Structures are given as C-alpha cells and as structure tokens.
Amino acid sequence: MTDTPYHDVTGRGPVLLLVPGGAGHPMGLGPLTERLAARFTVVTYDPLGLAHGRLGRPVAEQWVADWSEGARRVLEEVLPAGEPAYVCGTSSGAIAAMDLLARYPGRLAHVVAHEPPCVTVLPDGAERRAELIEQLDGPGRPPAEGESATPTGVFLARVLRPFSAYLPAPAPPPGRLTIAVGTGSRGQLLHRTGVFLAGRLGCAFAEFPGGHLGTLDHPVEFADALAETLRSSARTSA
C-alpha cells in the first residue's frame, strides 16, 4: 500500500501528530485540536480510516508496527524537509507513538505517551492484562462490522489484545519520551503502569488533567499541559 493513511491537518506552527486511542477514531477530539491549533500544525492520524467512511467495513487484527509505519508515512507527507515532529498518543495510540519513536527516531523531536495500556511491563503483568481484557471485553460487546459497528467494537475485537501485549523498546532515545498519566487515574492500573514504565525506561514522567479520557473530558487543560510539556522538552534539548 502506497497511499498516505487517513489524517486531517489544522493550525499553524511546529507539526504535532496526534494518535488517538481506542481503534484510532478521533471522535470528540475537536476541542483539543482547536486549542492546540493555535500553537501547532495539528495532524490527527486515523489509522483505520474510521472517521473517513470506513467504519463498518471488515477490519483485520491490528498490530502496533502497522500503526507506527502508517504514522511514519503521514509524517513523510506533512513534515517540511529537515524538520522534526512532536507526537502525542493516548491509550492504544500511545503505544503506537512509542513504537514510532523506537523505529524512526530521526524525524521526532519529542513523544508524549499518555496512559499506554502495555500492562505486561508490570511484574504481575500477565495477570493484570487478563483482568484488563476481562473488565473491558465483557458481555454485550458492540459490533465491529456492519451497519451497527462502533469504534469501541473495533477496539475490543481487533486492537485491545495485540496492543496490550506490547513491550516497549528498553532504551528510548534520551530526552525524547515523556510518559504521561491522568491525575484522575491515581490508584488505577494505567497510572501504576505509567509510573512503572517511566522508571523502567528512565524517561520523563508527567501528570495531565483528567483521567484516561482527559483529552475528551478536559480538552483545554490537557492541551495546555501537553503544549507546556513539549515546550519544556524543546528548552531541555536546546
């Protein structure tokens, strides 16, 4: 496949690639991107094209490497020559963002990975992953295909299992990764995962407003915290 993956572009300034969570559908991210667009060229990646007319079509099991490769191709399309991009991924998108940094560090200035559900990094990771899947994928799963398909159905059927088994690269490029968690997630599994992961990788750690869905529930505050994190990373690397 040679076509550039689905994405939308808004705003002006340094390129900031957003990789949504779930099945990659950017639903509800309008207020966040609007706030960020005052400071960045915001590129919103839609890896499965669910917001571009493909919801309801058959979807194969998803792999992290495919999402990060698609993100690379998007950046090749939108990045000016010689300019690095910022990246922010949340949930499953955070896993793809970390994989993008591991595979293609040369085009990235800094990556913020918000609450990546790669719980297998924990000492009791196998048990926690099984519990997470059981908790999320209980009875009444919405359909992944057909007229009644939902992004959540696609996530549960095709994304949750392979992405939650992901193990990040052990040594990210120094100074170019921040693991972020929500203040509203304190005491929860993904907050614990983020704290543990930042310590294991030796990278920066930050708390952002809201919980796991902070991009939706607190878009303005989340955008401002993200912008400040990226500004701080630029000052540190200068």
Between CA 170 and CA 188 the distance in angstroms is: 24
Task: Please give the span between the terminal C-alpha atoms of the chain, in angstroms, as a whole number.
Answer: 38
As a whole number, the mean pLDDT across the chain is 95
pLDDT tens sequence across 68-110: 999 999 999 999 988 999 999 999 999 999 999 999 999 999 9
Mean pLDDT of 217-230: 98
Residue 41, pLDDT above cutoff 60: yes
Q: What is the pLDDT of residue 134?
A: 94
CB neighbours (10 Å) of residue 9? 14
Buried b (16+ CB within 10 A) or exposed e, 207-230: bbbbbbbbbbebbeebbbbbbebb
Q: How many domains does the chain have?
A: 1
130 in any annotated domain:
yes
pLDDT tens sequence across 111-138: 999 999 999 999 999 999 999 999 998 7
Nearest Cα residue to 197 out of 138, 123, 103: 123
| CATH code, domain with 128 | 3.40.50.1820
pLDDT tens sequence across 182-214: 999 999 999 999 999 999 999 999 999 999 999
Residue 164, pLDDT above cutoff 70: yes
Contact yes or no for 211/22 (Cβ under 8 A): no
pLDDT tens sequence across 42-76: 999 999 999 999 999 999 999 999 999 999 999 99
2 in any annotated domain:
no
Task: Identify the domain containing residue 28 by its residue range.
Answer: 7-237
Q: Phi and psi (nearest 5°) for 64?
A: -55, -45
72 in any annotated domain:
yes
Report residue 10 as tokens: 């808004």
Q: Tell me the DSSP string of 166-179.
A: ----SSPPTT-EEE
Residue 2, pLDDT above cutoff 60: no
1 in any annotated domain:
no
Nearest Cα residue to 44 out of 106, 102, 87, 84: 87
213 in any annotated domain:
yes
84 in any annotated domain:
yes
Torsion angle of the four alpha carbons 161, 164, 169, 172, in this order, in degrees rounded to the nearest 10: 140
